[in-house]
Amino acid sequence: MGLTELAAVTGTTASTVARRLAELRARGALFFDVDVDPALLGVTVSALLWMQVAPAHLDAVASALAGHEELAVVAATTRPTNLVAHALCRDTEALHAYLTRRVAWEAVTRIETAPVLRTYKAATTLRTL
């Protein structure tokens, strides 16, 4: 919806809507997220990585992994494998190189790799019920 349409449904002006949106963005309350089909970027391999990390190292490992361009998601969990990540790689060789060269840390005591064979649903826009 554009500024004019938002102004009409909120009973304000387009400039008021623009100012309020800018304020929300400045506070970090509103941000824009773009979904791109990974295949358009040359990604052919998707895998879930279940890692076991010593609790004392969990935040440091998760923060470091969050900076890896190969990972779309990094999240702490409450399982024995207490860190999960979603890797997107151009091919199996790239996934292998990533696992053996970039994630092979002493703090990661165990890693299970689960290739994603088919995705039935990915992130989507939330609709009002």
Residue 29 sits in the same domain as residue 42? no
- Same structural domain, 50 and 86: yes
* Residue 57 domain-assigned (yes or no): yes
User: Per the structure, how many domains does the chain have?
Assistant: 2
CA distance 39 to 61: 28
**Residues 29 and 44 reside in one and the same domain:** no
**Co-location of 47 and 84 in the same domain:** yes
* Residue 27 and residue 42 share a domain: no
Retrieve residue 53's tokens.
Answer: 């990390």
- For 67, other C-beta atoms within 10 Å of its C-beta total 8
Give the pLDDT of the chain (129 residues) as one tens digit per residue: 889 999 999 999 999 999 999 999 999 898 877 777 777 888 889 999 999 999 999 999 999 999 999 999 999 999 899 999 999 999 999 999 999 999 888 899 999 999 999 988 876 555 554
Question: Which CATH number belongs to the domain containing residue 108 in this structure?
Answer: 3.30.70.920
pTM: 0.71
Is 121 inside a domain boundary? no
pLDDT at 39: 78
Q: Which domain holds residue 23?
A: 1-33
Antiparallel, parallel or unpaired: β 83-89 and 71-76: antiparallel
